[in-house]
Amino acid sequence: MLLRNNWYVAAWASEIEPSAMVARRVCGQALVLFRTKAGTITALEDRCIHRGMPLSQGGECEGEIVRCPYHGLEFDARGVCTKIPGQDQIPAGAKVNSFSVVERDAMIWVWVGDADKANAAAIPSYAYHRDPAWVWSRDTLEVNANWQLLADNLLDLSHLQYVHRKTIGGNPQEDAQAKLSATRDGDRVLVARWLVDLPAPPFHKAMCGFAGNIDRWQEIEFRPGFIQFYSGATDANTGAYEGRREGGMHLRHLHCITPETETRTRYLFSVAHNFRIDDAALTQRMHQLAVATFLEDQALLEVQQRRLAEDPDRALLDTRNDVGTVYARRILMELAAAENGKA
């Protein structure tokens, strides 16, 4: 179940360096991303109209055009063919498909669905990549699993104590005391988990020097392909649960889940914090912890994918912890039905 009519993060903006030709695949569509000399980001189909050669494989970006590596045909940033070596006339309509692409908040967003439905205003904002009060790091994994398995994983954190015992772990006792909620808001799902007035775990003490009990939260906002995590803590009994979350520790994890194919997903994630923002070693340590954690997920998801693929239509059992994942899957089904004209 791929959703073409959706904005996806195809790359980190920093990956598209001047004159680089970057190959990406989104919902099965092969793309080449590059910047013209003016810095405009461009997404063309990665396939020359002449002999089908991928432009990204040795092609060159020169000024405002891109050149095919095989016979040198040239295309402008809209994909229009501007030169065919050995030939004066260029046939009308000679054009490589082009796709809407937006650079925002250090990410490259692309739209490979119906062109008339591409609306850049629908791209979610992500302030933590541009707000100087925050410092952040980023990374990418390529996971051989269906994109929704990654979303399932993030929407049900009850796996922490089983999968991530060696990294971020989890605490069954606390899990039993957590206040959980999951709500659907249009095409978003909001999951929240609160631990109120409990002793600070070692990680929290080390990070922010909490002395006594603290209130802790994890909030997850799911949109198709774009999942935001907000986790934090304040001193207990200072009103966090009621909405006063000043001070304390605040962490933002972003998870961009971009389906390359039905069975392969590009997973771009970032870690942002607004405390000790000049402590590069801390930033690095949190980054490494995130990578180690997500590598554990990757190993698991790839095994899960292969097992599910053996019998893809067989029913699964939803549990109480799956409220968020059930909402998310329902949203995807509705959007997919709308995309296929069945809404």
Tell me which residues touch a second copy (CB under 8 A).
Answer: 30, 46-47, 49-54, 57-58, 67-73, 84-87, 91, 94, 152, 156, 158-159, 161-163, 172, 175, 300, 303-304, 307-308, 310, 314, 316-321
Residue 122 gets which letter from DSSP?
A: G
Enumerate the β-bridge partners of residue 159. Answer: none
Residue with Cβ nearer a second copy (58 or 212): 58
Residue with Cβ nearer a second copy (127 or 303): 303
Residue with Cβ nearer a second copy (70 or 134): 70
CB of 286 to a second copy, least distance (A): 25
CB of 177 to a second copy, least distance (A): 12
Any residues with CB less than 8 A from the CB of 93 and at least 6 apart, and which? none
Output the CA angle 57-1-254, nearest 5 degrees: 70
Best CA proximity match to 130, nearest among 270, 4, 6, 24: 270
DSSP string, 188-256: EEEEEEEEEEEEPPHHHHHHH---SEEEEEEEEEEETTEEEEEEEEEETTSSTTTT---SSEEEEEEEE
CB of 39 to a second copy, least distance (A): 26
CB of 237 to a second copy, least distance (A): 27
Residue with Cβ nearer a second copy (102 or 300): 300
CB of 288 to a second copy, least distance (A): 22
Best CA proximity match to 1, nearest among 342, 341, 337: 337
Residue with Cβ nearer a second copy (43 or 286): 43
CB of 282 to a second copy, least distance (A): 30
Residue with Cβ nearer a second copy (57 or 284): 57
Return the sign of the alpha-carbon dihedral for residues 194, 199, 204, 207. positive
Output the CA angle 83-88-91, nearest 5 degrees: 70
CB of 289 to a second copy, least distance (A): 20
Q: Angle of helix 147-155 relative to helix 323-339, nearest 10 degrees?
A: 150
Tokens of 337: 């039905």
CB of 154 to a second copy, least distance (A): 13
CB of 157 to a second copy, least distance (A): 10
Residue with Cβ nearer a second copy (135 or 182): 182
Amino acid at 309: A
Residue with Cβ nearer a second copy (48 or 268): 48
The single residue listed with the structure tokens 């774009």 is: 226
The single residue listed with the structure tokens 């998310």 is: 328
Residue with Cβ nearer a second copy (67 or 253): 67
- Helix (H) or strand (E) holding 67, with range, is strand 65-67
Residue 187 contacts residue 338 (beta carbons within 8 Å): no
CA distance 211 to 197: 12
